Amino acid sequence: MKSKIPAFLILFFVTYSLKAQTYFYNNDYYDNPITFEAGISIGPMNSLTDIGGRTGKGTRGAKDLNIKSTTLYGSIYVDAIYNHFFALRIEATAGSVKSNDSLLAPVKKSSAIGRYTRNLSFRSPIYEISLTGEFHPVDFFKTFNPESYPSAFSPYIIGGIGFFHFNPQARLNSNWVDLQPLHTEGEGFAEYPNRKEYKLNQFNMPLGIGISYDLSPKFNLRLEYITRQLFTDYLDDVHSRYIDPSLFSKYLSGTKLTQALILNNRGRTDALPTETTARPGGIRGNPLNNDAYFTVNFKVGFVFGRESLSSGGAGGGRNSKRQLKCPRLY
């Protein structure tokens, strides 16, 4: 007859084992295998969408980034860190993205590609919650040497999954108007079966790199770059081609109809026909590339789970003399 060990006993022994394996962090602190870090983050946020970009022919990636579209964001986070080399993080972020075609200087030749004369603009709030993993390769390889200590500087890579809310808006008569309910490119219209109405709450994939530095056993600093791979091209409400404006009256009425007719096509009235694509069937956006947004994060974190050796144990930074790393025996 096979013996079965209750699950709660397994959990007890695993938890006890982790707690028992306590090591010296320095002359003043023990270091548990699992520590926790909580902190705040602030920094610049920007996006890569169909609107704006840099002067001339549009390009992919950072080459089309316009610094003038940068905004400020903030976040709070909690990390659970295992032996310094792997961590799971939950983070809540709030910020905004924006851009406009007026950032592009008018170019008379074909390099304008109609973006300046298209004259579109948008802003969108960003509210995100993410679950990411961190891998610290330097500290990982140090685990094979029982007499080594975690690095003061620790580079790492980040990846995971996020869930975010956005809501593209455009300015009309000094007011900000939500664009998704206006179906500016015929999303959800029977005449455009391939253009589905997009959701304002979606998943994304945060990917990035970072480096952390321990100021003391209790505080550290981080610098990170994280980009979000999106599964939508509607962060700016621009995706494909202009539609026949007469269709708006079939699906909208009143104020929404008026707003849709104006905000669907905001092309410059002084543009020559050869300088603009703002007409039914003309190119409004590039459906081949999804949008993206990214942040540069400056983080300050407070570490939990390190035990002081003395009642006053507040000292002992990375530069203090440490004892050999060995198990705590009591």
Residues whose CB falls within 8 Å of the CB of residue 70, separated by 6 or more in sequence, listed in order: 44, 45, 46
Domain-located, residue 156: yes
Give, as one character, the DSSP assignment of residue 318.
T
- Residues 51, 47: Cα–Cα separation, whole Å: 10
**Residue 57 belongs to domain with CATH number:** 2.40.160.20
Q: How far apart are the first and last CA of the chain?
A: 38
Residues whose CB falls within 8 Å of the CB of residue 153, separated by 6 or more in sequence, listed in order: 211, 212, 213
Q: Is the dihedral of CA 198, 203, 209, 215 positive or negative?
A: positive
Domain-located, residue 271: no
- Can you give the C-alpha Rg of the chain in angstroms? 26
Domain-located, residue 51: yes
Domain-located, residue 166: yes
| Residue-level pLDDT at 315 | 42
Q: How many domains are contained in the chain? A: 1
Does 220 or 27 have the greater pLDDT score?
Answer: 220
Residues whose CB falls within 8 Å of the CB of residue 263, separated by 6 or more in sequence, listed in order: 170, 172, 177, 179, 182, 184
CA distances from 284 to 62, 112, 116, 148 (A): 21, 13, 12, 58
Percent above pLDDT 70 for the chain: 77
Q: What is the pTM (predicted TM-score) of this model? A: 0.82
| Residue-level pLDDT at 60 | 59
CA distances from 156 to 42, 134, 306 (A): 19, 6, 22
> Is 109 a residue whose pLDDT tops 60?
no
- The distance from CA 121 to its chain's CA centroid, rounded to whole angstroms, is 21
Domain-located, residue 182: no
pLDDT, tens digit (0-9, with 9 covering 90-100), for 153-194: 899 999 999 999 999 999 999 999 999 999 999 999 999 999
Domain-located, residue 274: no
Beta strands per DSSP E along the chain: 23-24, 29-48, 71-82, 86-100, 121-135, 153-166, 169-172, 175-178, 201-214, 219-230, 292-308
| Residue-level pLDDT at 6 | 58
- Residues 85, 120: Cα–Cα separation, whole Å: 46
CA distances from 302 to 3, 25, 293, 311 (A): 44, 16, 27, 19
Alpha helices in the chain, H assignment, sequence order: 7-20, 115-118, 137-142, 248-251, 254-264
Position 84, amino acid: H
- Residues 26, 215: Cα–Cα separation, whole Å: 13
Most confident segment among 145-149, 242-246, 269-273, 306-310: 242-246
- The distance from CA 17 to its chain's CA centroid, rounded to whole angstroms, is 36
Domain-located, residue 184: no
pLDDT, tens digit (0-9, with 9 covering 90-100), for 216-257: 888 999 999 999 999 999 999 999 999 999 999 999 999 999
Residues whose CB falls within 8 Å of the CB of residue 126, separated by 6 or more in sequence, listed in order: 45, 73, 93, 94, 95, 96, 97, 164, 165, 166, 293
Nearest to 106 by CA among 263, 271, 265: 271
Per the prediction, the chain carries an average pLDDT of 83
Whether the Cβ atoms of residue 79 and residue 303 lie closer than 8 Å to each other? no
Domain-located, residue 282: no
> Which structural domain range is residue 212 located in?
31-170+200-234+289-308
